[in-house]
A and B are shown apart, each in its own frame.
Chain A
Amino acid sequence: MKDIFRVRRMWRQPGELKRRYDVVIVGGGSHGLATAYYLAKRHGITDVCILEKSYIGSGASGRNTTIIRANYRTPEGAAFYRESVALYERLSAELDFNLMFSQHGHLTLAHSDRGMVVSQERAEVNKLLGIKSEVIGPARIRELCPQLDLSDRPAYPIMGALYHPPGGIIRHDAVVWGFARAADRLGVEIHPYTEVTGLERDGDRITAVETTRGRVEAGQVVSATAGWSSLVAGLAGMRLPITTHILQAFVTEPVKPFLDVVIVSGQLHVYVSQTDRGEFLIGAEIEPYTTYKGTGTLSFLEYSARHVLELFPQLERVKVLRTWTGLCDLSPDYSPILGKTEIDNFHLSAGWGTYGFKAAPIVGVTLAELVATGKTPELIAPFALERFHTDTLVSELAAAAVSH
């Protein structure tokens, strides 16, 4: 009986670093762990180590607002996230770990004619790709979310919404732990508190990775370091089209469950969901200046609270429980930078801005395939770093900025 209270480790305690690994993954977040898992699972490559400067899932993976959706605007983006949602739907079973994925639907509110046009555009792109997505009017919104203030009271009354039924929320820490446990069981080594301090480059290849715990030789190197991507690429002498910003979020004290859909408003710069614990989880827009200092601002709390009350006036007396920030790596076109670089054996998962978490499984699948076969999968070809040199951007601004 006492056995049920025993603390069980979910993955092995890390030993010493080996001298060499076939694949070294920098960054122990959802992307790095997913890549390691699929490398081992689908390609039999298990001589893999993950180097994480803090604890596993300490960065963006543990700080996002846990929203999963596929209703992007560009065909490239929507097709990519469609696969991600499909993987997430099967992930609890695959990892044998309850990720508490609830697909109660995702509503992107429109408060203007322009907002309605953009919603319509996204709905059409989505439908063509087989993604469930439609524009609905206030009557249907009231059915789906009677708690919303649909009256003329707010400064920007709600005119309609883009409704995306498969959208929802997931337990983000569980995604990290599930991938870590599954990767560990397949033989991947996870090394937390091991910061990468240098990348040894010999011409077009990275030969070794220097860390705070010693030097390891690497067959291939993957960087999945979100807000720190420019710094890691800088160690290899490479510049990226990325700027680092903080994104903030906060939760209220827990209240009785009364919101099951995810509500997003681009106009009010805010997204709202209620967690399984009853807390209202609210996020907004990145701070406009670049910074690596992860401290929150009062102005964020003020405007987010004000905007949320436009949607849910009944939250007026609810207290804020805690706030936090995360570092985001913003690319110029609001699309990720994924795959090969000009260094032969150095691969990137970067430029994820505020939408990386929802892509974790598909990043794992496609990056693992690239590392294993050397060929860029079709699905991620549009997101290559090279697109900035050929000036063929994939503009996801309309569906990615704020619209979570």
Chain B
Amino acid sequence: MSFLLPCPHCGPRPVDEYACFGEVTTRPAGESPSLRDLTEYVYFRDNVAGVQREWWQHRDGCGEWFLAERDTRTNEVLSISEPEPAPPV
């Protein structure tokens, strides 16, 4: 079943309006990460059957990027939140 996803600006909208950018990942720490750290970060995923924190964008709507917690077994959206500002580089 298709499902509704709440946008921080527009409220609940059909999931087809959004682009999903996958689970939230953590950048490898340090100045010069190894190739293995980088490839692990770029390609490998937890792909959980359960609650997943993920990136969404309301692509066909207001364009807002936000985070959602969704149960991948039921597609139930538990919460949405604004991303935190990126740490200074």
Chain A residues whose C-beta falls within 8 Å of the C-beta of B43 in the assembled complex: 241, 332, 388
Evaluate whether A388 and B39 lie within 8 angstroms (CB atoms) in the complex, with A290-B72, A293-B73, A293-B75 already known. Answer: yes
Q: Flag if A240 contacts B16 (CB, 8 Å).
A: no
Q: Judge whether A231 is part of the interface by a CB distance below 8 angstroms.
A: yes
Q: Interface 1/0s, chain B 53-85, versus A by CB < 8 A? A: 010000000000000000011110000000000
Interchain CB contact under 8 A, B45 and A292: no
The answer to whether A290 and B22 touch across the interface, beta carbons within 8 angstroms, is: yes
CB of B35 within 8 Å of the partner chain: yes
Contact of A230 among B15, B35, B40, B46 (CB under 8 A): B46
Which chain A positions have C-beta within 8 A of B45? 230, 239-243
A240 to B40, CA, bound (A): 9
- A54: chain B residues within 8 A (beta carbon): none
In this assembly, does B36 line the interface, its C-beta being within 8 Å of a C-beta of chain A? yes
**For the complex, is A2 an interface residue (Cβ under 8 Å from B)?**
no
Bitwise interface map of A from 216 to 250 toward B, beta carbon under 8 Å scored 1, else 0: 00000000000000110010000111111000000
User: A195 CB to closest chain B CB, in angstroms?
Assistant: 13
Query: Which of A129-137, A271-279, A294-302, A396-404 forms part of the interface with chain B?
Result: A294-302
Per-residue interface assignment for chain B, residues 32 to 52, with 1 indicating a CB less than 8 Å from any chain A CB and 0 otherwise: 000110011011111111001
Q: How far is the CA of A390 from the CA of B39 in the complex (A)?
A: 8
Residues of A within 8 A of B89 (CB): none
Query: Counting chain B CB atoms within 10 Å of each CB, which of A290, A297, A299, A388 scores highest?
Result: A290
Q: A290-B22, A292-B49 are in contact. Are A389 and B35 (CB under 8 A)?
A: yes
Chain B residues with CB under 8 A of A390: 35, 39
Q: How far is the CA of A289 from the CA of B43 in the complex (A)?
A: 16
In the bound complex, do residue B75 and residue A241 qualify as a contact, i.e. CB atoms below 8 Å apart? no
Q: Is there a chain B Cβ closer than 8 Å to A391's Cβ?
A: yes
Chain A: residues with Cβ within 8 Å of the partner, total of 25
Q: Are A239 and B46 in contact (CB under 8 A)?
A: yes
CB neighbors of A among B1-35 (8 A)? 1-2, 14-16, 19-20, 22-23, 35
In angstroms, how far is the closest chain A Cβ from the Cβ of B58?
14
Kindly state whether residue A203 has any CB partner on chain B within 8 Å.
Answer: no
The answer for the CA separation of A295 and B22 in the assembled complex, in Å, is: 20
B44 near A388 (CB under 8 angstroms)? yes
Interface centre among A230, A234, A291, A298 (most CB of B within 10 A): A291
- Nearest Cβ distance between residue A133 and chain B, in whole angstroms? 30
Chain A residues whose CB sits within 8 angstroms of the CB of B16 once the complex forms? 299
Greatest chain A CB density within 10 A among B39, B40, B43 is at B43
Contact B39 A292 (CB under 8 A): no
Complex: A231 Cα to B73 Cα, angstroms: 13
Known: A288-B19, A290-B22, A292-B49. A241 touches B44 (CB 8 A): yes
Please list the residues of chain A having a beta carbon within 8 angstroms of any beta carbon in chain B: 230-231, 234, 239-244, 288-293, 295-299, 332, 388-391
Beyond the given pairs A230-B46, A231-B47, 19 more chain A to chain B contacts, judged by CB atoms under 8 angstroms and listed by A's residue number, are A230-B48, A234-B46, A239-B40, A240-B44, A240-B47, A241-B43, A244-B47, A288-B19, A288-B20, A289-B15, A289-B20, A290-B23, A292-B73, A295-B1, A296-B1, A298-B2, A299-B16, A332-B42, A388-B39
